[in-house]
A = this chain, B = another copy of it.
């Protein structure tokens, strides 16, 4: 792996010796807890959905800011459906963006921001399988 430093992302996780609980994080930032049983922290599959929500959420914030569309609040909900048999990968994912701030006349810009993230910018989405069934909803609230 030869690459300039800025293209690399480095993380580590260490088993806490309790159940399926791991602690770790990026090599530069604060620690997080991951729990395979979803009690002490999100599970590993939930971490991926959170990464997807964050990636598209940030894209949408940045694009709307450039478009001068005001955003007061943004919540991203993600529901993923896993296959029934191993490896139990995600087959489909539904994302719901709930945005406060944009006016009714900003609806087209809001939809365009989500579309740009989906098609062009979101690093996490494009790291996932291309055959993932993706359903995106946008709600101005």
> Which residues in A have some Cβ–Cβ distance to B below 8 Å?
1, 3, 7-15, 17, 20, 22, 24-26, 28-30, 32-36, 38-55, 57-58, 61, 71-84, 86-90, 92, 94, 120-130, 132, 135
- B-chain residues with CB within 8 Å of residue A121 when the two chains form the complex: 86-87
Is the beta-carbon distance between B82 and A12 smaller than 8 angstroms? no
- B-chain residues with CB within 8 Å of residue A80 when the two chains form the complex: 8-10
Cα distance A52–B127 in the bound complex, in angstroms = 12
25 residue pairs of the A-B complex, CB under 8 angstroms, read A7-B83, A9-B43, A10-B79, A12-B76, A12-B77, A12-B78, A25-B50, A28-B38, A29-B41, A30-B40, A30-B41, A32-B33, A34-B54, A36-B58, A44-B53, A44-B54, A44-B124, A45-B51, A45-B55, A47-B51, A48-B52, A87-B121, A87-B123, A87-B125, A129-B130
| Interface residues of chain A: helix, strand, loop or mixed (majority) | mixed
Interchain CB contact (< 8 A) of A76 among B13, B76, B127: B13
Report if A7-B84 is in contact (Cβ < 8 Å); known contacts: A92-B1, A132-B127: yes
Is the beta-carbon distance between A15 and B75 smaller than 8 angstroms? yes
Interchain CB contact (< 8 A) of A58 among B20, B61, B78: B20
